[in-house]
Amino acid sequence: MRSFSNLWYWIALAVMWSTASHWILGVPFDMVQRAGRYGGQAETDLADMVRINVNRIFYVVKYTGVWLVGITTGLNTGLAILGWAYDVEFAQAVFLLLFPMSLVAGLNIWTCNQIRNRSAEGEELRKLMGRHRFITQGIGVVSIFLTALWGMYKNLLVVGPLGG
């Protein structure tokens, strides 16, 4: 299963990071920008959407958080071992998708905690959401770079220097 030479893998990687950087805590980032630009009802809508999604995320964490951490950690560990100890390219490819998104999931919980602890509204809420998006994009850039580097290495390793 040659994952890194498959166009669909790279499309999935791009779509995944595009979606992750647009939907911050389940809220489209254009709502954050619109609230900053226009205020009023847009600001109220943003606060409501964030409040709903923060409560939803905390509900999931409260009842399944330990299980989710355990399952995610076990899955990441299993994929890393299969991928690099046993040289299974498919496991490497899935790990390079899943592990950075696990970091983003942790960042989601951290940002929700910041919003709830500070009772963030208005400008402070928009700053927290903007910082969250910036960090998510940073994780995405590093992830895409490392995935592309590893994918090129794997493709050159199979093809060889003279193409055969």
- pLDDT averages per 10-residue partition of the chain, 164 residues: 89 97 96 95 96 97 96 98 96 98 97 96 96 98 98 83 56
Helices (H), 23-88: 29-38, 40-80
What pLDDT was estimated at residue 80? 98
Classify 27 in phi/psi space as left (phi over 0), alpha (psi -120 to 50) or beta.
Answer: beta
Q: In b/e form, how buried is each residue of 80-107, taking b as 16+ CB within 10 angstroms?
A: bebbeeeebbebbbbbbbebbbeebbeb
pTM of the model: 0.91
Q: Is 158 exposed, middle or buried (0-12, 13-18, 19+ CB in 10 A)?
A: exposed
Compute the distance between CA of residue 14 and CA of residue 8 in angstroms, rounded to an integer.
10
What pLDDT was estimated at residue 158? 73
Token digits of residue 15 = 């779509």
Classify 51 in phi/psi space as left (phi over 0), alpha (psi -120 to 50) or beta.
Answer: alpha
What pLDDT was estimated at residue 162? 60
- Which among 17, 14, 18, 44 is positioned nearest to 31, based on CA atoms? 44
